[in-house]
């Protein structure tokens, strides 16, 4: 009898990911402790100077800014996305449509969507043109290349990452629990904070993780909406591999970014597992 061996099922995918995901990460880690090559690349010799260099206030500022924006974006996405997820879960007739309208931007070209933001925000963009013609302002407002533009772009870009997991956990919520709490005299607000919110926590955690991690590693948003002044970690990394040609330093920053992501993932796993029935 011909048997499909488990190894045969596993081999191609695992090998590919081993060769083209795990191995590159290890090489990157290796590159981060080597000397800098003259024309890009690396030169032999162990050093920790690239990690020391990251402690320079200049780079610490970028690190801090990135963390702050990622946190702000996550908080804003939660505040805006939770009501959306809840409304979708409550609705019967329009549920499919409402959901599809979240799924669509989830998958459509991030680049195109970011360009749509530029089209609105730039000096000759729609917002400025409208305000000028209405006589509200006399000179175009600087909207693009500001922290505001980047934050707006992050929220706009990653909001669906929050809505979908929160919706998934709200959908599973047993209506009987809400009825029970209502019967026992809970007002809507109390009901929300003691029943709905705690039970949707897994979705909130998953969504927050996705938004936070995506914002942390974002490159396109800050490059296109932030310009040269609003640099985030991702732009710093890219710069070391293109204009600055300092691969080891770029690898070191990149490794720190990966560590931050891993910490966030582990934290979310810990938050999610211990107390399922509180």
Q: Which of 230, 248, 249, 187 is nearest to 65 (CA)?
A: 230
Closest CB to other proteins among 110 and 148? Answer: 110
Q: Least distance from C-beta 223 to other proteins, angstroms?
A: 8
Residue 140 binds to other proteins (criterion: CB under 8 A) = no
Least gap, CB of 74 to other proteins (angstroms): 14
Q: Which two tokens stand for residue 1?
A: 């009898």
Determine, following the binding rule CB under 8 A, whether residue 181 of this chain makes contact with other proteins: no
Q: Is residue 216 close enough to count as binding other proteins by CB under 8 A?
A: yes
Q: Pattern 238-277, binding to other proteins, x per CB under 8 A?
A: x--x-----x--xx--x--xx--x---x------------
Question: Is residue 20 near other proteins by the rule CB under 8 A?
Answer: yes
Query: To the nearest whole angstrom, how small is the minimum distance from the Cβ of residue 105 to other proteins?
Result: 5
CB of 146 to other proteins, least distance (A): 17
Q: How many other CB atoms are found less than 10 A from the CB of residue 13?
A: 9
| Nearest alpha carbon to residue 206 among 164, 172, 262 | 164
User: Are 125 and 183 within 8 A, CB to CB?
Assistant: no
Cα dihedral 43, 56, 265, 146, rounded to 10, equals -110
The DSSP code for 42 is E
Q: Which of residues 48-87 bind other proteins (CB under 8 A)?
A: 80-81, 83-84, 86-87
Contacts with 178 (C-beta within 8 Å, 6 or more apart), sequence order: 191, 195, 196
Q: How far is the CB of 167 from other proteins (least distance, A)?
A: 7
């Amino acid at each position: 009898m011909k048997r499909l061996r488990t190894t045969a099922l596993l081999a191609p995918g695992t090998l590919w990911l081993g060769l083209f995901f795990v191995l590159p990460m290890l090489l990157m880690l290796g590159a981060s402790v080597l000397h800098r090559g003259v024309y890009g690349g690396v030169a032999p010799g162990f050093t920790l100077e690239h990690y020391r260099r990251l402690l320079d206030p200049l780079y610490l500022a970028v690190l801090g800014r990135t963390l702050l924006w990622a946190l702000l974006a996550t908080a804003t996405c939660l505040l805006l996305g939770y009501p959306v997820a809840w409304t979708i879960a409550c609705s019967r007739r329009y549920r499919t449509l409402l959901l599809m309208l979240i799924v669509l931007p989830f998958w459509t070209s991030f680049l195109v969507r970011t360009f749509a933001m530029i089209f609105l925000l730039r000096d000759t963009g729609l917002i400025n043109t409208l305000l000028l013609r209405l006589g509200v302002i006399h000179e175009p407002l600087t909207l693009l290349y500001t922290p505001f533009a980047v934050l707006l772009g992050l929220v706009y870009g990653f909001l669906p990452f929050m809505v979908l997991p929160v919706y998934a956990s709200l959908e599973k919520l047993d209506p009987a629990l809400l009825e029970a709490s209502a019967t026992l005299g809970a007002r809507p607000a109390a009901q929300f904070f003691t029943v709905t919110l705690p039970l949707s926590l897994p979705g909130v955690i998953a969504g927050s993780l996705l938004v936070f991690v995506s914002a942390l590693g974002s490159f396109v948003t800050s490059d296109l909406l932030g310009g040269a002044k609003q640099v985030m970690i991702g732009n710093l990394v890219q710069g070391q591999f293109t204009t600055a040609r300092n691969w080891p330093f770029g690898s070191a920053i990149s490794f720190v970014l990966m560590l931050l992501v891993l910490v966030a993932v582990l934290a979310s796993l810990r938050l999610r597992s211990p107390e399922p029935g509180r």
